[in-house]
Amino acid sequence: MVDNVNIQESPPEVQFAGVNRWLRENLFSSTGSAILTFVSIGALIGLFRSIIGFFISPEREWTAITYNLRLYMVQAYPESDFIRVWITIGLVMGLLGLTWGFNSVNEKSSLKSTGTTLMKVFSSLFLLVLIAPTSVVIDKVEGTVVDVFQQELRIYLLAVLAGLILVSYLIRTKLASQEVSKDYLNIGYVGLLVVSIWLIKVPTVTFDSSNVRIEPDPLLPLAASTKNPWTALYLLLVVTFFIGRYLNSKNLTSFKRILPVSWLLTPLIVVTWIYRKPDFTLSQITTVDLPVILGFSAIGYFVINYLNSEKLMQYQRYFVYGSLIIAVFVFSLPVLRQLKLLFFLLWILISVAPTIANSKESARSLFIVWSVAITILILLMRGGTSETLIVVPGSSIYGGFALTWVLAFFGIAISFPFGVMLALGRTSSLPIIRIICTAIIELVRSVPFITWLFFGSVMLTFFLPAGVEFDEVVRAVVVTSIFSAAYLAENVRGGLQSISKGQFEAADAVGLSTLQRISLIVMPQALRAVIPPIVSQVISLFKDTSLVAIVGLFDLLYIGSKVIPNQSQGANFLGTIQENILFCAIFYWIFTYSFARRSMKIEKRLGLGER
Amino acid sequence: MSIIQSIDVKKWYGDFQALKGITMDVAEGEVLVICGPSGSGKSTFIRCINRLEQHQDGQIIVDGIELTNDLKNIEAIRSEVGMVFQSFNLFPHLTVLQNITLAPIWVRKKSKSEAEEKAMELLERVGIPEQADKFPGQLSGGQQQRVAIARALAMEPKIMLFDEPTSALDPEMIKEVLDVMKELAQSGMTMIVVTHEMGFAKEVADRVMLFDEGQLVEQNTPEEFFNNPESDRTKLFLSQIL
């Protein structure tokens, strides 16, 4: 029998005790590991020296990139229409700021972690400068050596970096207990980027009055022609952030519902504003569009407030079927395309209204969302279907990074809902739907992406009604999204299978309908389980957009690998393929890596509830 | 007035007949305990009552509505019948409070504040109001099962079904769940409980049933059932379990 033993609580053993111990435990734990450590450090230094040497060698023609940045970004998009691109980016920025501010949870972060991050960055730079080679071999046969990195410059850079390391160390130790809002910190980081495009100067190609290249290349700010708009956009972001936060403090629930709808509609605005320059006439809007908008707003109001009442509730299914039949009927009539779409939307509204608008307040916000959405949609369709006024030499309005971005963005945005529906269809208990979805998935997956691109480019027109013709970019977007949807469907199906039968039964037992069960219980869990494969799929889709060069579109990589290395007129960048390919690689890396980082954070946050 | 009526209910899984014609009824406010060896069809039977399983022959009438393939009837009955599972089946991506308020908000169309107020009341009743903002994964088994009971009660059901609610729990946690169920029984709720907790049956049940091989072998008041079992099968079962 054990008597009352006095157990005292002891603090946990300290895990981390000094640099020495860490080194001993992690790098030099045995003779073998010590040898390995030294060998790999040596190899890393050698590798970095040669990479840095490659970058700073006088043979490199980096002006090929600085001079061609515009070509890289938008290819041949006419300069006179740039303002519309900026306005569109501004719109997205504003929305981003509002969302950010509205959803801000005012998280605090200690300056200690900021200091640590800064210290890591500056120390890595310090090391790189320290090991950078002073001279590089230009001609391997003759062994010509050229000095590229003067000792004074190195010492100067090292001194500056040492100063910065000291400053971040001081932040880390002296101000460690200070807390700052994470939002302000992020605004600060983006601000640093904006400042750097004013401060960092790079050599560019300039011509004198007789059209001769000025040598040596003069230094100009990184974003010489775009620094003003970027700064304005940054200010817009900051301002809308504070507006969003103000709105949040006012607790506006209807605004909460308007935000996602605005995001959903943004791509359409991008399409009509950058892709097309619509031929608007005021009379069309006042005589056709305005009455349609008002009429459908009124119908929506009626549906939400009266059709939803207790007395008519039992006939709900008849309303749903009836409105679907009307929508299909209207679709076959030779009326405005806007009307065709609106009747389908009305059908969706009638189907979901009883589920969403379950209180007076939510009925009101649903009505607001409905009216705003149809207004924007009608105006956009008016813009999208009218003749474009942009004149571009060549086949496509889009090119360069703009094309890459459009393909990736729309590819993901369209394939996501489509893929989820395919996955649900494939697991459905209705045999016809299951067979159709399985057939689509298997057919799309079993043919190479490039084949589908050719198919879209060459054969799609045969399958469309006469007179309907899509632009090459639209065809590429359609093909990309269908291809990606098939793979996404399989990923999502994997997630669906990970949901236990008990979850379905529990959802049934509390009386949820099938739609509610899928959207509230099954999908949130299934999607959460498959975030990693979905993220890697998004990343590979982003990179796969470079394949569209095969159907004659000028994407980022094609410009870097074929267009610029063949520029023989003016600045003459013949054969600058290494620089351009490297630039493209870094460009892709920045985007995919930051996306991967972001998703890791999301995964962590969503993982909270599990286990 | 019986609230649940079952007339000659039969069910097959492939060739295997799980229910061989169950005829019984449950009165309003009655607490019925069903026991029996595993594979005897007792779980299958109570899952038929809210149509998680479909019976193929016979009739089940719950609160005056007959269970058929009509979706409307099924949804109407499911919102009247609460169910508690052996493996809790809480929604892991929602907090405790969200688990409880989900169905009242989406099925009963209650406002969020009203549903939350009711949910906190129920959490108070099952004794874990302080866990409201945690996720199910952060709770012990007994706490999870109490949340599951609160979730079912939030729909204000007329009938509660318990499918072996304590079988997946540690002995120490069984008591806390049984206490909640006893309190519920005393409040006049109609309950059907599939369980091996004979102590609970003796203390709380109005009637005890024994299922074996898909048949209803014996039903009686707890005193008679435990002290003077009629059939040999019941005697054998009791000798093994007690």
pLDDT, residue A388, reads 65
Structural contact between residues A596 and A539, judged by C-beta atoms closer than 8 angstroms: yes
* Nearest residue of A to residue B149, measured between CA atoms: A510
- pLDDT above 70 (res A275): no
pLDDT, residue A465, reads 67
Instruction: Find the helix packing angle between A227-249 and A82-102, rounded to 10°.
Output: 30
Mean pLDDT value of segment A269-276 = 69
CA distance A244 to A94: 10
Distance from CA of A517 to the nearest CA of B (A): 10
CA distance A550 to A419: 25
* Nearest residue of A to residue B94, measured between CA atoms: A609
Structural contact between residues A176 and A111, judged by C-beta atoms closer than 8 angstroms: yes
Please indicate whether, in this complex, the C-beta atoms of B78 and A508 are within 8 angstroms of each other: yes
Higher pLDDT, A569 or B167: B167
- pLDDT above 70 (res A385): no
- pLDDT above 80 (res A200): yes
When mean pLDDT is compared across A320-334, B39-53, B176-190, the lowest value belongs to: A320-334
Find the CB nearest B92 among A511, A516, A610: A610
Residues of A in contact with B157 (CB under 8 A): none
Residues of B in contact with A516 (CB under 8 A): 106-107
Mutate to test the interface with A, among B70, B93, B162 (most CBs of A within 10 A): B93
Residues of A in contact with B111 (CB under 8 A): 359, 361
Structural contact between residues A374 and A291, judged by C-beta atoms closer than 8 angstroms: no
pLDDT, residue A1, reads 45
What is the pLDDT confidence band of residue A437, given thresholds at 50, 70 and 90?
very high
What is the pLDDT confidence band of residue B10, given thresholds at 50, 70 and 90?
very high
What is the pLDDT confidence band of residue A611, given thresholds at 50, 70 and 90?
very low
Please indicate whether, in this complex, the C-beta atoms of B92 and A525 are within 8 angstroms of each other: yes
When mean pLDDT is compared across A200-214, A429-443, B78-92, the lowest value belongs to: A200-214
pLDDT, residue A390, reads 66
| Distance spanning both ends of chain A, measured CA to CA | 38
What is the pLDDT confidence band of residue A81, given thresholds at 50, 70 and 90?
confident
Average pLDDT over chain A, rounded to whole?
83
pLDDT, residue A545, reads 92
Summarised one tens digit per residue, pLDDT across range B178-202 is: 999 999 999 999 999 999 888 899 9
Residues of B in contact with A527 (CB under 8 A): none
Residues of B in contact with A512 (CB under 8 A): 102-103, 106-107
Mean pLDDT value of segment A547-557 = 89
A-B Cβ pairs (cutoff 8 Å, strict):
79
pLDDT, residue A466, reads 65
Structural contact between residues B195 and B166, judged by C-beta atoms closer than 8 angstroms: yes
Percent of chain B residues past pLDDT 90, beyond the cut: 64
Residues of B in contact with A501 (CB under 8 A): none
Residues of B in contact with A308 (CB under 8 A): none
When mean pLDDT is compared across A304-308, A425-429, B64-68, the lowest value belongs to: A304-308
Mean pLDDT value of segment A367-388 = 77
Please indicate whether, in this complex, the C-beta atoms of A505 and B52 are within 8 angstroms of each other: yes
pLDDT, residue A36, reads 92
Average pLDDT over chain B, rounded to whole?
91
Residues of B in contact with A502 (CB under 8 A): 85, 87, 89
Distance from CA of B68 to the nearest CA of A (A): 16
Mutate to test the interface with B, among A510, A519, A602, A605 (most CBs of B within 10 A): A510
- pLDDT above 80 (res A352): no
| Amino acid symbol at A219 | L
CA distance A307 to A323: 12
- pLDDT above 60 (res A6): no
What is the pLDDT confidence band of residue A574, given thresholds at 50, 70 and 90?
confident
Mean pLDDT value of segment A570-598 = 89
pLDDT, residue A439, reads 96
Residues 6+ apart with CB under 8 A from B45: B6, B9, B19, B22, B34, B211
What is the pLDDT confidence band of residue A589, given thresholds at 50, 70 and 90?
very high
Ordered alpha helix ranges (H), A458-576: 460-463, 472-497, 501-509, 514-516, 523-529, 531-544, 556-558
pLDDT, residue A483, reads 94
Higher pLDDT, A402 or A569: A402
Structural contact between residues A141 and A281, judged by C-beta atoms closer than 8 angstroms: no
Mean pLDDT value of segment B6-33 = 92
pLDDT, residue A78, reads 80
Which contiguous run of DSSP H or E holds residue B61? strand B57-62
A2 CB within 8 Å of a chain B CB: no
Mean pLDDT value of segment A79-84 = 81
pLDDT, residue A13, reads 58
Please indicate whether, in this complex, the C-beta atoms of A511 and B85 are within 8 angstroms of each other: no
| Angle at alpha carbon of residue A550, lines to A546 and A552, rounded to 5° | 100
Structural contact between residues B34 and B207, judged by C-beta atoms closer than 8 angstroms: no
Mean pLDDT value of segment A174-189 = 85
CA distance A482 to A218: 48
* Nearest residue of B to residue A526, measured between CA atoms: B93
Please indicate whether, in this complex, the C-beta atoms of B52 and A524 are within 8 angstroms of each other: no
- pLDDT above 60 (res A609): no
The pair of structure tokens assigned to A267 is 């791509």
pLDDT, residue A286, reads 80
Cis amide bond preceding A216, omega within 30 = yes
Distance from CA of B5 to the nearest CA of A (A): 19
pLDDT, residue A18, reads 73
Order across the sheet with B57-62: list the strands. B16-27, B2-13, B57-62, B65-66
For residue A385, the SS3 value is: helix
- pLDDT above 80 (res A382): no
Percent of chain B residues past pLDDT 70, beyond the cut: 99
Summarised one tens digit per residue, pLDDT across range A101-115 is: 888 877 888 888 888
The pair of structure tokens assigned to A204 is 């560019």
A359 CB within 8 Å of a chain B CB: yes
Residues of A in contact with B50 (CB under 8 A): 508-509
Higher pLDDT, B37 or A610: B37
Summarised one tens digit per residue, pLDDT across range A117-172 is: 889 999 999 998 988 888 887 777 777 778 878 888 889 999 999 999 999 998 88
Please indicate whether, in this complex, the C-beta atoms of B137 and A508 are within 8 angstroms of each other: no
Summarised one tens digit per residue, pLDDT across range A219-268 is: 888 777 888 999 999 999 999 999 988 888 887 777 777 788 788 777 77
Distance from CA of A601 to the nearest CA of B (A): 17
When mean pLDDT is compared across A80-84, A385-389, B14-18, the lowest value belongs to: A385-389
Find the CB nearest B85 among A502, A610, A611: A502
What is the pLDDT confidence band of residue B129, given thresholds at 50, 70 and 90?
very high
Residues of A in contact with B155 (CB under 8 A): 510-511
Please indicate whether, in this complex, the C-beta atoms of A511 and B107 are within 8 angstroms of each other: yes
Mean pLDDT value of segment B125-135 = 92
- pLDDT above 70 (res A19): yes
pLDDT, residue B2, reads 86
